[in-house]
Amino acid sequence: MNVTIGAKAPAFSLVNTERQKVSLDDFKGQNLVILFFPMAFTSTCTAELCSIRDNIATYEGLNSTVVGISVDSPFTLKQFKTDQNLNFPLLSDFNKEASPAYGAFYEQFMLDLKGVSKRAAFVVDKDGVIRYAEVLEEAKQLPDFEAVKNTLSSLQ
């Protein structure tokens, strides 16, 4: 499935690093940046999420919350979050439901791994509507974070 700008964001219910269920509805009334990423502990994913960590005040200043989602287990994500001092939630799509729903899913990835999240960025507004969508085919590319911030600014 592909998500389009102006459409309702696909619902999800995932487990965070504290083993608690987190759903899209938990963010109702606030702007949400959803970052799908292929795998914890890889160089590009680490650089991307550490960049968000270092700039979290910018996103908070734009009245938004950021979450990272991958198909890694909640246990792997907890260690990754701890090791990298990440200051925003990481959610496990281990059952591979949210990634395909957002069109951010490799059926086949490198090393013959199957079912891995693509790198992607979405902005969901306070009403649960997609306002920005970027799904990258190349795992080494990063989302256009300036476009994400511009979208958030336009929602103020």
Residues designated as active site: 45
Helix, coil or strand: residue 36? strand
DSSP 95: T
State the maximum Cα–Cα separation within the chain, in Å, rounded to a whole number.
43
What single-letter amino acid sits at 51?
S
What single-letter amino acid sits at 145?
F
Expressed in angstroms, the distance from the first to the final Cα of the chain is 29
Strand blocks (E) in 71-119: 90-92, 105-108, 114-117
CA atoms within 13 A on the CB side of 123: 22
Cβ–Cβ under 8 Å, residues 93 and 105: no
